[in-house]
Amino acid sequence: MSFLLFLRGFVGVLVAFALASYAITQSAWTTFIQTLICAVVIQVGYFIAILFMVWRSGETKKRGEILARGENTAASATDIRPKGETAQLPGVGRSPLP
């Protein structure tokens, strides 16, 4: 999610929250305090969501690196196979036929 989309939604939610809070409490000071608390809670949630997305992208990157290393290992192993033998594709089993 881009920051601009988040900011628009953030301001929209805070305005709606402030209007509802003022309609319920009829107090500007209470509305201000509650809206400020709501803003902090939303910011903490956004921060946690960003941390989760960064952590998840790191896991994906690790998996990609492991797969890349496996493909490189398979490619380098083709240099040492006996003459006339074909390379086996990664993840494809050998045929039971001779």
- Rounded distance, CA 75 to CA 81, Å? 11
Q: Is residue 35 part of a domain?
A: yes
Contacts of 81 (CB under 8 A, 6+ apart): 87
| Residue 8 pLDDT class (50, 70, 90 cuts) | very high
Q: Is residue 86 part of a domain?
A: no
| Residue 92 pLDDT class (50, 70, 90 cuts) | confident
- Whole-prediction pTM value? 0.56
Q: Is residue 11 part of a domain?
A: yes
How many domains does the chain fold into?
1
- Phi, psi of 85, deg, nearest 5: -90, 135
How many CA atoms, within 13 angstroms, populate the side-chain half-sphere of residue 76? Answer: 5
Q: Is residue 98 part of a domain?
A: no
Q: Is residue 78 part of a domain?
A: no
Q: Is residue 43 part of a domain?
A: yes
Owning domain of residue 8: 3-73
Backbone dihedral region for residue 53 (phi beyond 0: left; psi -120 to 50: alpha; all else: beta): alpha
Q: Is residue 69 part of a domain?
A: yes
pLDDT in tens, 13-53: 999 999 999 999 999 999 999 999 999 999 999 899 989 99
